[in-house]
Chains A and B, each alone.
Chain A
């Protein structure tokens, strides 16, 4: 599986996933999350994060039992917005999983890249709510301090006391997790970082719910991607961070290797602020394969963006068909289980892909009754499927036409 030298940087190092940290509506940590994916668990439940009076639908995939104090020790969770808490906590889980002590990382060149959609907009809502209630312009100071989305990345570095980290927040909406993982891949592959801590985080927010409710895309109870009777998305939340290292250092320290990052691609529709475009998505998929040195026929499984809206499902399926012609691998949507965790979504899905490679199964599309006849794909309905996977593809699309596709492979020593 060689890389095209014309398109890749000089002497790219192989990059592997050696740690996974997940906080999700179907489980926290690798073991619970894997079990959830294999069982086809649903994270849907009534919203408790905010008042839903006046809304006809009130389900989402929240994590009501997330306790930031369990994970965050150096910084005070009270000083952090919920998305920042999720990004830090999932990073700590990832480092524990990788068996990397923070003091070992302290003076290494690290990239901390956290993707997000709404960042800390929830804190701005706190400020506005108080202003409206009080009839004044007074700004809630602690909320103002928490309200910067730039803190999702830097506070990870501060919690871990990293000294040489580049801490960047990548707010490319619902493709942000893949962007951040791709960026970590480039930094490590190019020899510019020893380790990358990368993924995404978003909190379940009233603002997000209102937005998608107004757009008419909130499903009443469950999320049914690719189903003829799909009714839209469920909003969700979560944090998913990966530890990426170069292969040699991972082998040298005897790290467990979940998967190899083979490459990724980015492309912009340059077409519409919110509507997806199948040509842009298809181009992005092809870019990803070119970057990874893979061909579509090698792909054993596609984790779809799969939001459960008609606009997404039909457009994304068309793009996949365009690239894969008559040779479609199984395609499933983790959002059927996790809801749409916004900027965390593609990071959660990337974690799911790595775990699928490791454990030899394809996560299902749950809540499935009848596949939309407009969509000619095998969506792995309802039950996880055992499968020896070698190459998997993780799609993500976002408002602003920001597409990002990540390619992971089962790690095999000796492959170059």
Chain B
């Protein structure tokens, strides 16, 4: 049943935006990242982010923080992608997809459940709190706020979430479901999430929980010979998506080999030589998992710079982590035309990588 994978000429990322603990917007985030001292205590919360102040009081009453971050970041992305007379980057509402990586909305769900246990009757809950208990609420809100009527999907996979989301967006576009896609990942900070994640760690330590959202615009690859995407106007590509690959490990001893194998398949599929790779941005979880991940990456791409500053500075952004890793790689490689690698190794058994040629 095994067949050789096709050589993929990937679509391109032409814009990105963020709300992060380092600031509102891409510019603030990058400036904050350059200036930050990685040995200082992480700044884990998006500062001055009150959903109703940022987005206004209309339509935000029952919005949770994750949806607020996703909607606000989408607004910034669309402003960056095109003028008001060409909203949605010039694409028709039906032609553009929205794909959001998200984790369980732990706070919204637990708040709702607390009401069921503490009020007179279990069903004595506020019905306006129902939509946000569903994991696809934020993506649906982004679609409603900006009239994105193409495919709308939510993707979930621990720290691999943003890479899985990128792959979903890539396949939507590749298989004709959407001409372009707004995609990204979001994570919110809450005491409930911190408590649940800390209980999962069972004392083995981790980065402090952080939050934020990154949204990207994915557009079709330029036609042969061209260097501009055909449909989106005059946006130059920030990066081409050459390959996204995944694998699975069952015991820690398998992780290094699983990631190396995953990278090897990605390099082969994209026809990229290891000496074209200028840097790796790993998840780099604390402890032996991160060690094994970095070792597996080095096995395939050699001794290249390893970028981990974002996580050192803003903490564990969960579902959003790989999106922030991509951003760090884009900043490091800007203007180079070289290939950057994002890797991840989550605590559940996934490894993953993406190869991006950065312009």
Contacts and interface: CB of A to CB of B under 8 A. Distances in A.
Contact of A207 (B113, B131, B200, B349): B113
A409 interface: no
A144 interface: yes
Contact of B117 (A129, A273, A402): A129
B283 to A, nearest CB: 14
A226 interface: no
B154 interface: yes
B81 to A, nearest CB: 17
Contacts of B127: 214-215
B175 A8 contact: yes
Interface stretch (B19-27, B133-141, B286-294, B320-328): B133-141
A268 B149 contact: yes
Contact of B195 (A129, A137, A154): A137
Interface of chain B, main secondary structure: mixed
B303 interface: no
A19 to B, nearest CB: 13
A141 B199 contact: yes
B134 A169 contact: no
Given A9-B176, A268-B98, A191 B5 contact: yes
A312 B47 CA distance: 41
Interface residues of B, number: 82
A245 B3 CA distance: 12
A267 B176 contact: no
Given A128-B114, A148-B158, A108 B1 contact: yes
A124 B116 contact: no
A121 B127 CA distance: 18
A190 interface: yes
A120 B104 contact: yes
A161 B248 CA distance: 8
Contacts of B117: 128-129, 132
Interface in A153-195: 153-155, 157-158, 161-173, 179, 183, 186-187, 189-192, 194-195
B248 A191 contact: no
Nearest to A104: B1
Interface residues of A, number: 89
Nearest to B126: A214
Contact of B125 (A132, A148, A210, A274): A210
B1 A195 contact: yes
A257 B74 CA distance: 43
Most buried by A among B97, B136, B250: B136
Contact of A291 (B147, B171, B177): B177
Contacts of B161: 150
Contact of B152 (A164, A195, A268): A268
28 contacts: A55-B123, A109-B2, A124-B104, A128-B110, A128-B113, A139-B199, A149-B156, A166-B245, A167-B157, A168-B157, A169-B155, A170-B153, A187-B171, A190-B171, A191-B6, A194-B3, A211-B133, A214-B125, A215-B130, A266-B97, A267-B94, A267-B151, A268-B148, A270-B149, A273-B141, A291-B177, A400-B137, A401-B152
Interface of A: 7-9, 12, 54-55, 108-109, 117-121, 124-125, 127-129, 132, 137, 139-141, 144-145, 147-151, 153-155, 157-158, 161-173, 179, 183, 186-187, 189-192, 194-195, 206-207, 210-211, 213-215, 245-246, 249, 252-253, 265-274, 280, 283, 287, 291, 398-402
